[in-house]
Each structure stands twice: as structure tokens, then as C-alpha cells.
Chains A and B, each alone.
Chain A
């Protein structure tokens, strides 16, 4: 089981997409590719933007579908962080219901 620590320093607010991308490309996707289980440990992170969580896990969920949730564990998440992760997982699996509106705008 691969444990990936998500650290943000003193601000407890994770918003740096570059850092999220780095973790995704260098650690998360290779670990999932190898077929094992992955733990994302958010100790020390209380809040995150949807953009950060999307940059971290969105591609993995899109690539592997909902079965990846059985191989991913989110550890030490605050309740605030959980709500953001749930939002990202939901739209990563089923998209936003915007197609009709986008068509209207076009």
C-alpha cells in the first residue's frame, strides 16, 4: 500500500494546483498503474479548493472509473475537506449537468 502525504505548510489550506499535479503525476498515477492500493494522507490540511482536489485525483477517477474508489483511501480528512472531495468525485464520475445550458449559450 502506497501512502502519499499531502502537505501544505502552516496555512492548512491546500490550493496549489502545481503541487497537486506533481503529486498526481509523480506518485498517485504511477502507484495506481502498478495496481496497488493508495492512501492519500491529508494530515495537516483542513481546507482545499475544488481545483486542488481535481488536479490531484480527477484524472485517476476519469481514467479508471468508480472502481478506483475501492483502491483509494482518503486519510485524516477534515469534514470540510471531505465535502470538497465528494464534490470532485461526483462530477468526475458523471460530469456537470451543463450540456443543455452550454448548447443554449452556443
Chain B
């Protein structure tokens, strides 16, 4: 893990790999959020290894967000790309714009239910960032639709340099204040929100967005990564269909990795991979999520759908 936020008094440096072209969305979203943080803290940014291999980063608009001239121009062929370039999101209107553009940019128009799952995750992650992170820079999002190979997948990332999860949840759950690992685990439980405690959430927040996003990743066979402060959690890809058929409410009882990083991230990063070929029917998929949540024995009255 890089030390993103230390020693920036003398300037900040982003070092691209000298040969590799591809950067996963979480790397791009983090770099863009970090760039905004640097500007806010008057740290000048330099980028090393801006060669031909940096064209992908340029197409994803990383240099635009870092406000750096890469020294080359690119010809954009939107019809050929299957990605959502980096976007800075500061308002609900910005979120609406991203959601509206996902279909065309990721070329998912032929797969409406898979597109809905992607839109779902992007919306929930961006709203979380805007509502809870409190970053003056907003949040940064990008995504890539990988279509080669047997498993089609969409990788999404949202990063902010806001207050972080431990600080946010700490106002309601004082025990996790200053404990990034426990705060991460708590944040992924359904029904937990930093806005106000209570089994039913608040009128505007149920605390279920992250949980359902995690379910969508797991149910499709993808991964879910979350990083805040010094803690990083990764829900591993399911090994087989049988494993992914059951959701464990407690994220620490899933197949996971939990790291305590020497140099942390000031804010929150969430990366989600959705295996889009596994989501052919959104309704059945969502019903499956609902079935994973234990319900009370008492039967409720029927909902009147007409």
C-alpha cells in the first residue's frame, strides 16, 4: 500500500508502471480522489512513466482529473470502449447522469437486468459517499466492462477522501471510533447506518445499501473490496455456484481477507465486481437476496400489487 497522504509537503508523485497499460477501476478512482485531495492541500502532483502505455489511463480521463498534460493526445472511439471514464460526482444530479450513461458506455443495453444490477451498485455506492463521507471533493467513480473470456464482468470503483467509516459510524457507535477494521465489518451489516441507530434505520436510510451491493457481488460470483483508514476487506470470489448461493450476514464469516495497512487511506474506497453473465433475471436475483435474510415467523398482510 502506498503512502498516499504522507510527506506531500514537498509535492506528490504518481508512478505508473513502465510497461503495463491496464489499471483496474479502483486504482484509477483512488488516484483521481487522491489528486483532488492533493490540490485541496496545495500539493503539486507529478506523474512518472507517462509513455504510450499510459493511453488507457488517458482514455479513462485520469490525467484530466489530475490536471496534468500527458504530452500526447488520444483519439476516442466511444463505440469501441466498454468503460465509464472517471467522473467526479458531487450532487444527486451527477449521480443521475452517471446512471443514465452506464448503458451506452458499458454497452449493456442488450442485458437489461445485468445493467440494472450495475446501476444499482453504482447508485448505492455514490449515494453512500455523498451522504456519509463529507468530502469537499465529492466522490470519483469509474467502471470497465470486461467481455472477453467465459465470464463477462463489470468492475466498478468509487473512492472519496472524506471522513472515513470509523469516524462516520463512530458518532453513533462510539466503540468503533478509531478502529477501522471493526468499523468496516460493522458498516457491511444490514441495518447499520451512521445516521441514527435503530432496527428500521431512519426515514431516509435503512443501512442496507452496502449489504445488498455485497450480495450482488457475491451472488454473481464477483468480489467486493472495501478500504477505509488502515483497514481493507475483500470478499473473495465464490469458488463455485454452491458457495455463492448462501449469503452470510456477517462479512467476517464469509471467505474474506482483512488487512491492517501500514499507511491508510483517508476516506473510503469500494470496488465491486459483478459477473454480468450470472444475472439474467434481476427479479429472481433480488428475491434470492431477500430469501437470505431471515424473516420473523409472523406473517405480514399481503402487499396489494395491481
Could you say which of B206, B294, B303, B306 contacts A50, with CB atoms under 8 Å apart?
B206
| Interface residue stretch chosen among B50-58, B66-74, B115-123, B225-233 | B115-123
Cβ-closest chain B residue relative to A70: B301
**Cα–Cα, bound, A49→B116 (Å):** 9
A9 to chain B, nearest CB (A): 8
B261 to chain A, nearest CB (A): 20
A17 to chain B, nearest CB (A): 6
Whether the Cβ atoms of B250 and A104 lie closer than 8 Å is yes
Tier of interface size on chain B: 35 or more
**Cα–Cα, bound, A94→B54 (Å):** 52
**Cα–Cα, bound, A10→B104 (Å):** 13
Residues of A within 8 A of B120 (CB): 15, 47, 49
Whether the Cβ atoms of B200 and A11 lie closer than 8 Å is no
Instruction: Tell me whether B203 is interfacial, beta carbon within 8 Å.
Output: yes
Interface centre among A13, A66, A89 (most CB of B within 10 A): A13
Residues of A within 8 A of B175 (CB): 106
Whether the Cβ atoms of A47 and B119 lie closer than 8 Å is yes
Whether the Cβ atoms of A105 and B300 lie closer than 8 Å is no
Whether the Cβ atoms of B293 and A91 lie closer than 8 Å is yes
Whether the Cβ atoms of A13 and B290 lie closer than 8 Å is no
**Cα–Cα, bound, A58→B298 (Å):** 19
Residues of B within 8 A of A10 (CB): 100
Known: A58-B200, A80-B282. A86 touches B119 (CB 8 A): no
Residues of A within 8 A of B286 (CB): 80, 83-84, 87
**Cα–Cα, bound, A84→B286 (Å):** 7
Could you say which of B124, B206, B306 contacts A58, with CB atoms under 8 Å apart?
B206
Could you say which of A24, A79, A90, A105 contacts B182, with CB atoms under 8 Å apart?
A105
**Cα–Cα, bound, A49→B100 (Å):** 14
| Interface positions of B from 164 to 202, Cβ below 8 Å from A | 173, 175-176, 182, 185-186, 189-192, 199-201
Known: A51-B206, A91-B200. A75 touches B306 (CB 8 A): yes
Could you mark each residue 22-63 of chain A with 1 if its beta carbon is under 8 Å from any beta carbon of chain B, else 0?
A: 001000000000000001000000110111001100110010
Whether the Cβ atoms of B294 and A51 lie closer than 8 Å is no
Could you say which of B204, B207, B209, B301 contacts A66, with CB atoms under 8 Å apart?
B301
Could you mark each residue 73-95 of chain B with 1 if its beta carbon is under 8 Å from any beta carbon of chain A, else 0?
A: 00000000000000000001001
**Cα–Cα, bound, A84→B116 (Å):** 12
A79 to chain B, nearest CB (A): 4
Could you say which of A18, A89, A96 contacts B191, with CB atoms under 8 Å apart?
A96
Cβ-closest chain A residue relative to B298: A94
Whether the Cβ atoms of B209 and A94 lie closer than 8 Å is no
**Cα–Cα, bound, A59→B196 (Å):** 14
Whether the Cβ atoms of A94 and B203 lie closer than 8 Å is no
B284 to chain A, nearest CB (A): 8
A45 to chain B, nearest CB (A): 11
Whether the Cβ atoms of B300 and A47 lie closer than 8 Å is no
Residues of B within 8 A of A24 (CB): 203
Could you give 25 example pairs across A and B, Cβ below 8 Å?
Answer: A11-B99, A15-B123, A18-B92, A21-B204, A50-B208, A51-B127, A51-B206, A55-B203, A58-B201, A59-B203, A74-B306, A76-B306, A78-B283, A80-B113, A80-B116, A80-B282, A82-B303, A87-B289, A88-B206, A91-B200, A95-B191, A96-B199, A105-B186, A105-B189, A106-B176
